[in-house]
Amino acid sequence: MPDSAKTALAHRPPIRLLVVEDSPSVREFLVYLFASDQEIQVIATASNGEEALEAVKTRKPDVITMDLHMPRMDGYAATRAIMENYPTPIVVVTDSTASDDRSTTLSALEAGALAVMKRPTGIGHPDHAATARELIQTVKLMSEIKVVKRWAKQKTPAAPAPDTLPPEPPLMTPAARKHFRLVAIGSSTGGPLVLQQILSHLPKDFPIPIIIVQHIAQGFAEGFVQWLAESSKFAVALAVNGTVMMPAHAYVVPNGFQANVDTYARVTLKKDAAENGHCPSVSTLFRSVANAYGASAIGILLTGMGKDGAAELGLMRDQGALTIAQDKESSVVHGMPGAAIALGAATQVLGPDKIVSLLAGLAQHS
């Protein structure tokens, strides 16, 4: 590291972290873990949601790690209360993938949590260093996110109904009125809510299959799919090897597999190496879509850390596909879409509402 960078780091105030965890041993483990990084300072801990809310009010942390199941006030209720009163970046940290925990975790994301992470493995486990590093890096990045207040649920304005969307959005040109056969979406941090917004506002007879890679913690893909299905008007399912994609269906690639598609709309899943640190990887999927579908595909890269899928969105564009990157204003983290925009890979840069309008309009001509 150059001396100037070291000097800047030395003068940068540490990230103020609140650790919320009801288990004393796990709480101690997390505090020890974060204490190993000089850029993070654990300013307080809490053993339940009520203590967390008070700590946020009085200590004003930069970022919070949030447990799920706690006495007196659970992780979902605490997240909702914090985001309604003292908006602060929240990372859910859990070691359980039980159905109840998956539901609570996704509800916490809906209430405003930015990410869900598996608790790092214990010291001595072969994966300890990697899992600890991933959590620390996520907490650092999330601390820089400028979150906004979430209004109480009853005060949230209703989203526009699908039939109020313009049938032919101004963004669509005559040249864009072609026959599209597949929509491929890549998404990471902040993506679940955007995907929910997009899928819930597409018509139930949306005539183009959708395939999705969402970076999400191991064990939560099934609950994520169920959560999306409950808010969508068409079928949402976890892709399996050999799936033939159908219109009015969305398919989510499961954890631990890389996904490829062929010209017969068939999905192949392989236990393959991670790409860009991810399995599934958006890059793997988009490269496959570019080869199999060419100009008849739509590629969408949503909010997320890193650059997974950015260059491959460019491959899709080179093949004549319609390529879309989420705009900076609506992205929780503009890493992936920002990288695609910098490469010139996106033919459109849009917010979620405009993405819905564009897809709904294009679908009428497919």
Among the options 107, 143, 187, 188, which is catalytic?
188
Q: Which residue has the tokens 């999306």?
A: 228
What angle do helix axes 282-293 and 310-318 make, rounded to 10 degrees? 10
Catalytic residue status for 308: yes
Selection from 191, 322, 197, 209 nearest residue 259 by Cα:
209
Q: Is residue 331 a contact partner of residue 216, using CB atoms and an 8 Å limit?
A: no
For the beta carbon of residue 178, count every other beta carbon within 10 angstroms: 14
Coarse DSSP helix, strand, coil percentages of the chain, rounded to the nearest 5 percent: 40, 20, 40
DSSP 113-128: --EEEEPPPPTTSTTH
Residue 62 CA to residue 15 CA, distance in Å, equals 6
Q: Which residue has the tokens 């491929």?
A: 184
Q: Is residue 210 a contact partner of residue 325, using CB atoms and an 8 Å limit?
A: no
Catalytic residue status for 188: yes
According to DSSP H, which parts of the chain are helical? 3-11, 24-35, 49-59, 75-85, 99-111, 128-142, 191-201, 221-231, 282-293, 310-318, 335-342, 352-363
Catalytic residue status for 334: no
What is the 3-class SS of 102-116, one letter each residue? HHHHHHHHHHCCCEE
Q: Which residues contact 178 (CB under 8 A, 6 or more apart)?
A: 295, 296, 365, 366
Q: Which residues contact 271 (CB under 8 A, 6 or more apart)?
A: 256, 257
Among the options 107, 308, 330, 331, which is catalytic?
308
Selection from 57, 56, 76 nearest residue 66 by Cα:
76
Active-site positions read 188, 215, 308
